[in-house]
Amino acid sequence: MTEPPQPPNQPPAPSGYSHLPGPPQPGYGTPPQGANPYAQPPTQPMAQPGYGYPPPVPPAPGAPQGPVPGGPRGRRTAVIAAAAAAGVLLAGAGAFFVFAGDGGDDPKPAAQSAPPAAPQPTGTPDKGDGSGNGSGAAEDLNAGRKQGEDKALWLKTVKIDGPGSGVDSGGQWVVGDTVVKSIWKDLVAYGAADGKEKWKLSFPTQICSVTRQTTADAKTVVMYKDGESESAVCNQMRLVDLKAGKEGWSKEVPKEGLFDIMTSPTLGIAGDTVAVSRSGTASAFRISTGDKLFGSDGAEGCKPGAYVAHRTKMIAIATCYDDNLTTEVSDADPVTGKKTWTYRLPAKHKVTSVHSLDPVILDVGNEEKKERAIVVLGPDGKQRTTVSGEGTFETECTNGLFRSVEVCETSVVDQNTLYMPTSPGIGKANEIVAFDLATGKAKWRTPAGDGRTLTPIRAENGQLIAYRRATPDQGGEVVAFPAAGGNPTALLRSPSGTAAPVEAAFYKPKIDYVGGRLYLSTALLRAQGTDEKLLMVFGK
């Protein structure tokens, strides 16, 4: 097997690249609507295709819809260790990444059946006014709670009459004793213990981009459109103090050249810097003042098309205008944008996802040849290893069409270990796999069990914290796995009974576990003038 050509002055590219079947068809995996109005997953646009793929063909009327835009996962890719099972020859010990399928034609999604009808909560929730003021009755949600289970503290519902395509509600931040949620044109803060509204900020137009990240003092940047028309552009930024519930500076993102069309910008925060990446162009601004720090136009050498920022780190993903439009990755100082190392990908390979910035872990691929690998870089930008393991992994995490790459929410790194979830089959359980970053090999894996799904949340204090999704008759769980592997410890058990089908219907929710409370919220609302669940909170 021939490996991709090597750029000059670089370590060898990951071995084990192979010619693989095409991507699965879109529209895969969303269960149809259930009977309970509080348990219905919203109708959702199609998921983000992989780097370099054309937008998917819309599904036929009535067909199951794809994942929420702003949800953490996109097309499934596979990491296969056993070459014999795949019928190909691997060179060396590198990872072998394939699109889901068995070769030949694109695989077809399996038929999906509707989930069991969920029982209606026995009480009558406060209907709300379209701004997130509705609240499910806590005593009703805890009907049928079993011994040893914790409580559903409150359920927030909304009624919005909006555009036919639905409205975005992807922002969720937990700050002290407050949880803040974005709802179309508003940010609304609720008391974590009781769900009572604490403050509300309204924007002139719809909120079009947020980041889960904040500064150390709980400030973040939110983007909104420059008008109400269909041609309006997502180019307005505003600073928000999530702790105080107050707005700071507002400004328009200046264009970086003639071809800066501000399509679907992605935000990331590193220290006092917010990066705004969009359609091959990127800029960085000082959060405290709103002043521009650097951008694509002023960069030396290859043009950065995205700045990926997380916590204190930032990298630039740039395009070099040579014959192959080679992709170059480098570190970027969050204040100056200057780089100290550069990693050049093999010809025609792109970065499709970023799993971590500390260390830098990249999902790279060649769309033309259907090649894929997860590459781990050292502090000097040199390739350290590649990750390999058996299973089908959800490794593409770009949110929505045309959005720039960002750090995957469900990829967790701690103490030289990468934790990744496998993609669950329909009605089947998934696994979390722990990879040793020194060797790239799997250290351990643990199944969710009983058709459940495990989602990593974060790693801390030598443990991996994960959420085991609810089923219509069993509540979810927050569990802690020892970093060395072994049986998990349950940190919180959601109640069965009335609450379970409501919790189970949060399809690929935004998840936070902070201060002993579990927060689940939807990322998209139908906005068709009927009650919809927005946010559910569990605790002791």
Query: Which string of DSSP letters, residue by residue, matches 350-373?
Result: EEEEEEEETTEEEEEEETTTTEEE
pLDDT of residue 427: 80
- Which residue, 341, 363, 361, 339, is CA-closest to 350? 363
Q: In the prediction, which pLDDT does 59 show?
A: 37
Task: Return the top range by mean pLDDT from 113-117, 263-267, 396-400.
Answer: 263-267
Q: What pLDDT, on a 0 to 100 scale, did the predictor assign at position 111?
A: 30
Mean pLDDT computed over 309-316: 97
Range in 137-141, 167-171, 235-239 the model is least confident about: 137-141
Mean pLDDT of 101-117: 32
Tell me how far the alpha carbon of residue 387 is from its chain's centroid: 20
pLDDT at 400 over 90: no
Q: What does the mean pLDDT of the chain come to?
A: 79
Task: Evaluate if residue 129 carries a pLDDT over 50.
Answer: no
Residue range 419-441: average pLDDT? 93
Phi and psi at 474, nearest 5°, equal -145, 130
390 CB burial (10 A radius; 0-12, 13-18, 19+): middle
| pLDDT tens by residue, 50-61 | 333 333 333 333
Amino acid 465: pLDDT: 98
pLDDT at 115: 36
Strand intervals (E) in 204-291: 207-209, 219-224, 236-241, 246-252, 266-270, 273-278, 281-286
309 Cβ neighbours under 8 A, 6+ residues apart: 213, 268, 269, 270, 273, 274, 275, 284, 334, 357
Type of residue found at 368: E
pLDDT at 126 over 80: no
What confidence score (pLDDT) does residue 263 get? 84
Q: What is the largest CA-CA distance in the chain?
A: 68
Percent of the chain with pLDDT over 70: 73
Q: Indicate the range of 126-130, 300-304, 502-506 predicted with least confidence.
A: 126-130
479-495 pLDDT per residue, tens: 999 999 999 999 999 99
> Which residue, chain included where needed, has tokens 């379970």?
500
Gap between the Cα atoms of 521 and 380, Å rounded: 39
Confidence of residue 414 (pLDDT cuts 50, 70, 90): very high
Confidence of residue 366 (pLDDT cuts 50, 70, 90): very high
pLDDT, position 6: 42
d(CA 92, CA 539): 49
Residue 465's SS3 state is: strand
Torsional sign, CA 118, 121, 122, 127: negative
Whole-model pTM: value is 0.78
306-to-286, 294, 330, 462, 492 alpha-carbon distances in Å: 17, 12, 11, 32, 38
Residue burial 17-50, b: 16+ Cβ < 10 Å; e: rest: bbebbebbbbbbbbbebbebbbbbbbbbbbbbbb
Q: How many helices (H) and strands (E) does the chain have?
A: 3, 38
Note the residue count of the chain. Answer: 540
pLDDT of the residue at 467 = 98
pLDDT value of residue 51 = 33
pLDDT, tens only, 254-281 = 999 888 888 889 999 999 999 999 988 9
* Residue whose C-alpha is closest to residue 406's, from 303, 481, 317, 527: 317
pLDDT band at 15; cut points 50, 70, 90: very low
C-alpha to C-alpha distance for 515 and 491, rounded to whole angstroms: 11
pLDDT reported for residue 259: 86
- The torsion angle over the Cα atoms of residues 42, 174, 283 and 293, rounded to 10 degrees, is 170
